[in-house]
Amino acid sequence: MFSLHESDEKQIGLDEIISQCRCRSPQGNRLKNAKHFFAPAEKSELAEELDAVAAIADLILAKPDEAAEAQRILSQLRELRGTLHGLEQERLLDETEFFELKRAIAIFNRLALHPNLMNAAKVSMCALGDAERLLDPAGSGAQGFYIYSEYSQKLRKLREQKRELEHQISEASNELRLQLLKERNLLGAIEDEEEERVRRELGIQLLHFLPELQANSENCALLDFRIAKAELALKWQACKPSLAEAEEDALIKEAWHPLVQASLKKLGASFSPHSIRLERGATVISGANMGGKSIALQTVFLSLTLAQMGYFPPSKELRTPLYAFMTFSAEMAGDYDLGLSSFGKEAVKIREDFRRSKQKRGLIVMDEPCRGTNPSEATAIVQALCNAYAGMSSTLLIASHYKVNPGLGIRFYRIKGIKPENLQLIRADAGTADSHLIKQIQAMMDYHLEEVDGDHPVPSAAIKIAELLGIDPELIAAMKALWQEEKWQK
């Protein structure tokens, strides 16, 4: 079992994503917030989780009222860990805790009346009729709880005597009233002792149902969480991921990032979905600056992360092996407490990921590594990383604008970007607002990924864009001259 580093979760917006998965009970929310990742050894457990979510989604489409009723019931469930722990330790429970148990047992029994949903969710709910009757000895069906007179003949007589005394007190004179009050207080103390004895006896009797109570509580968490996952899958129209063998590739088709998609929708734009195959070794994504490489990396990593957590990822199709670890590296601020520069911190992560990759198959995603390092050294570092991972079982997915030479075990993708000839179609008349020109340029950007060979040219639209945005002609001329010289030298 493993978990993502907190910084990796922030990079892909994981907390915001899973907040869209709406559990109704504290048990379900606790399970969701645990963020369990299924390790390679838990492949069968993950397959069962995904099958359950798929079956519930089908049931929601066929019988939406049944799932909605179960969620309404689950929303009434309270946190039970403290009460069940007290019961297990044979602690004297108070009336509030007995009320919680009574309410929970009623919820368990009502959920047990939905076998189709239980079967779809792959959980079982044990009906506890005897326990329900134990906490409602009069059979009133009332939701509340108190120490009923039916629990003890002695308690019944004490309460009858108290009621009679209270009637006498209401009619007695001052002197007699004081005497009667003393008698009532004595009866009250005896009643408290008897109620405590009854509570202790009730706890002993309920202790026999503890395994079923604990199992039902855990199954409520699973039921709630799986229904919420199914709802989210339907909302996203997401695919059920398929699980590949350990040595196989990951394949993602038309994946999108829900947070980015929502932001773009507010701006009247649409998200360009990403498709990619990740083999063992290194995969390099290139593209112009601000061309969408970071979003592509986040989208791919998010989809694979969600699949390994038992969610349906936002994509049309996804097939993946289970990785022993997953890590996402992007530009990070320096850690001044440790006195490390940005690259120092980056180097530590490179070291740790590489060491782990020698032992286990991992997914290592790096967004523009060494961007603060001088270009010559950075190019050498990126090339060395790709060469090293090319012969390993792990998968390195790296976005970089530095040139990487092709080799066995290194694959290449690029953001399609803008075709240079299309930039000629943009009109930059005098007085045209910068914002309008930028929108025209963005409208021409193709953010889809395409596989290319290792000798594909570096995108070269930046100088033309600078020219369109009105940079002085002498600067543009100098840029073009130096660019041609650079290309000639290479």
The tens digit of pLDDT for each residue in 17-63 reads: 999 999 999 999 999 999 999 999 999 999 999 999 999 999 999 99
pLDDT of the residue at 112? 96
β-pairing, 395-399 with 281-286? parallel
DSSP string, 194-211: HHHHHHHHHHHHHHTTHH
pLDDT at 35: 96
Give the up-direction half-sphere exposure of residue 488: CA atoms within 13 A in the CB hemisphere. Answer: 6
Question: For 452-485, what is each residue's pLDDT tens digit?
Answer: 987 776 666 677 777 777 788 888 888 778 777 6
Give the Å distances, CA to CA, from 417 to 77, 96, 264, 461. Answer: 52, 64, 18, 9
Nearest to 62 by CA among 2, 149, 132, 120: 120
Exposed/middle/buried for 449, CB within 10 Å: 0-12, 13-18, 19+?
A: buried
Which pLDDT score is estimated for 334?
A: 42
To 10 degrees, the CA torsion angle through 17, 327, 252, 229? -30
What per-residue confidence (pLDDT) applies to 341? Answer: 62
Residue 447 sits at φ, ψ, to 5 deg, of: -90, 5
Sites in the chain below the pLDDT cut of 50:
332-339, 489-490
Q: 71, 42, 44, 32: which is closest to 306 by C-alpha? A: 32
Give the distance from CA 90 to its chain's centroid.
Answer: 36
Tell me what pLDDT residue 337 has.
44
Strands 410-417 and 395-399: unpaired
pTM here is: 0.88
Query: In whole angstroms, what separates CA 190 from the centre of its chain?
Result: 54
pLDDT at 461: 66
Torsion of CA 260, 261, 265, 268, to 10 degrees: 80
What local confidence, expressed as pLDDT, does residue 43 receive? Answer: 97
In 187-298, beta strands by DSSP E:
242-243, 250-255, 274-278, 281-286
Angle ∠(428,430,435) on CA atoms, nearest 5: 60
Which tokens go with 296? 């592509």
Q: What is 1-66 written as a DSSP string?
A: -----HHHHHHHTHHHHHTTS---SHHHHHHHHT-PPPPGGGHHHHHHHHHHHHHHHHHHHH-HHH
**Rounded CA gap, 77 and 359, in Å?**
44
